[in-house]
Homo-oligomer: A and B are copies of this chain.
Amino acid sequence: MAEVPNKQIIFKSFIVGAPKVSDMELKVGSIKLQVPKGSGAVLVKNLYLSCDPYMRGRMREYYGSYIPPFVPGLPLEGFGVFRVIDSDHPDFLPDDLVTGITKWEEYSLINKTEGWRKILSTDVPISYHVGLFGMPGFTSYAGFYEVCSPKKGDFVFVSAASGAVGQLVGQLAKMHGCYVVGSAGSDQKVNLLKNKLGFDDAFNYEEEKDLDAALKRCFPDGIDIYFENVGGAMLDAVLLNMRDHGRIAVCGLVSQHSVSDISGTHNLINLITKKVRMQGFLMSDYLHLFPQFLHQISEYYKQGKIVYIEDMNEGLENAIDAFLGLFSGKNVGKQVIRVAYEN
């Protein structure tokens, strides 16, 4: 069988600071649309690729992380939605629609299928399987219910609130009977938080001279739960405003992916005086809850109780910009790349 051209986003070399355009490149390789017999591999056509902040951690040399680094010279990897074209694996057959880890290219030959999940129902947008019904949505679900110990009436603050994770956290907290405020980096996002995502209040942190004052304005009685996605100055301001026995779920510190946290966190003394629990977590600790999550969130979605905002980018040609946009806050909602429309 002849080879076909295969556009790929190649990871060039390990980086130190913030990811840059020059750290990746679009190349056109070639691939046979056939799985070698006996390989146990699966050949897929990628439809959607997910841009996620954790991928920054795979761009540096191995440092004992929970996930190995990308390999320089090979395509990036990440969550995606894809169609099986050919298969030597008994669980995945041609035409199956699947979500799981794939590579940043048009077609991928893959022999690691751990964590792959067949998409059986197409009554929700299939790209949502890397967002609302995927790792980010599950991170919101596990983080909110399992880490935040939420109670009705709690005052909840979510940073990066319109992002892939934050937007669902806010909606779950509202359904739980909490008072929910979000922060984001543009007036457009603040508008979405208040008018589309149902947050009680929201503010544009770029427009606030004093984050402590902004939080005191939004939470005159303090914060019970902080869902932490950004770190840096926001964390310090939140620490000044926590209530007794507050909880901070540390999901991401996106401000530190890029700048290795030069300024530091200065107000940890408040953990003691307010008896605050600050808990880092990864959704992978809670995978036993995934079926329950999928069922529950699908129901909420179908009942119109939750919405989900995607920032859709067309084509691998725009993939590098889309990925970099995560770290400058350019994305509005979950950042996704549409690699191909299906015929």
A contacts, CB < 8 Å to B:
57, 65-66, 231, 235, 250-253, 256, 260-282, 285
Is the pair B278, A282 in contact by a Cβ cutoff of 8 Å?
no
A66 to chain B, nearest CB (A): 6
Is the pair B272, A250 in contact by a Cβ cutoff of 8 Å?
yes
Is the pair B273, A66 in contact by a Cβ cutoff of 8 Å?
yes
Is the pair B272, A261 in contact by a Cβ cutoff of 8 Å?
no
Contact of A272 among B253, B266, B270 (CB under 8 A): B253
Is the pair A269, B279 in contact by a Cβ cutoff of 8 Å?
no
Q: Please provide the 3 A-B residue pairs with the shortest distance between their CB atoms, ordered closest to farther.
A: A264-B264, A271-B280, A272-B280
Q: Within the assembled complex, what's the spacing in Å between the Cα atoms of A278 and B272?
A: 10
Q: Within the assembled complex, what's the spacing in Å between the Cα atoms of A56 and B275?
A: 18
Is the pair B274, A280 in contact by a Cβ cutoff of 8 Å?
yes
Is the pair A267, B261 in contact by a Cβ cutoff of 8 Å?
yes
Say yes or no: A65-B253 contact (C-beta < 8 A), given A263-B264, A264-B263: no
Chain B residues, Cβ within 8 Å of A260: 266
Is the pair A231, B268 in contact by a Cβ cutoff of 8 Å?
yes
Q: Within the assembled complex, what's the spacing in Å between the Cα atoms of A164 and B280?
A: 30
A35 to chain B, nearest CB (A): 35
Say yes or no: A277-B279 contact (C-beta < 8 A), given A261-B268, A266-B264, A268-B261: yes
Can you list 10 A-B pairs, Cβ within 8 angstroms, ordered by A?
Answer: A65-B273, A250-B268, A253-B268, A261-B269, A264-B264, A265-B266, A272-B282, A273-B280, A275-B281, A275-B285
Chain B residues, Cβ within 8 Å of A256: 268-269
A243 to chain B, nearest CB (A): 11
17 new A-B contacts at CB < 8 Å, known A252-B272, A256-B269, A260-B266: A231-B269, A250-B268, A250-B272, A251-B272, A253-B272, A261-B268, A265-B265, A265-B268, A268-B280, A272-B280, A272-B281, A272-B282, A273-B282, A275-B285, A277-B279, A277-B280, A278-B279
A220 to chain B, nearest CB (A): 13
Chain B residues, Cβ within 8 Å of A272: 250-253, 280-282
Is the pair A282, B275 in contact by a Cβ cutoff of 8 Å?
yes
Contact of A264 among B65, B66, B253, B265 (CB under 8 A): B265
Chain B residues, Cβ within 8 Å of A280: 268, 270-278
Chain B residues, Cβ within 8 Å of A268: 231, 235, 250, 253, 256, 261, 265, 280
Q: Within the assembled complex, what's the spacing in Å between the Cα atoms of A276 and B288?
A: 20
Chain B residues, Cβ within 8 Å of A285: 275
A256 to chain B, nearest CB (A): 6
Q: Which residue of B lies closest to A244 (CB)?
A: B66
Is the pair B266, A261 in contact by a Cβ cutoff of 8 Å?
yes
Q: Within the assembled complex, what's the spacing in Å between the Cα atoms of A252 and B264?
A: 18
Say yes or no: A250-B231 contact (C-beta < 8 A), given A264-B265, A265-B265, A280-B276: no
Chain B residues, Cβ within 8 Å of A266: 260-262, 264-265
Chain B residues, Cβ within 8 Å of A261: 266-269
Is the pair A277, B275 in contact by a Cβ cutoff of 8 Å?
no
Chain B residues, Cβ within 8 Å of A251: 272
Is the pair B271, A250 in contact by a Cβ cutoff of 8 Å?
yes
Is the pair B281, A278 in contact by a Cβ cutoff of 8 Å?
no
Q: Within the assembled complex, what's the spacing in Å between the Cα atoms of A282 and B244?
A: 11
Q: Within the assembled complex, what's the spacing in Å between the Cα atoms of A260 and B270?
A: 12
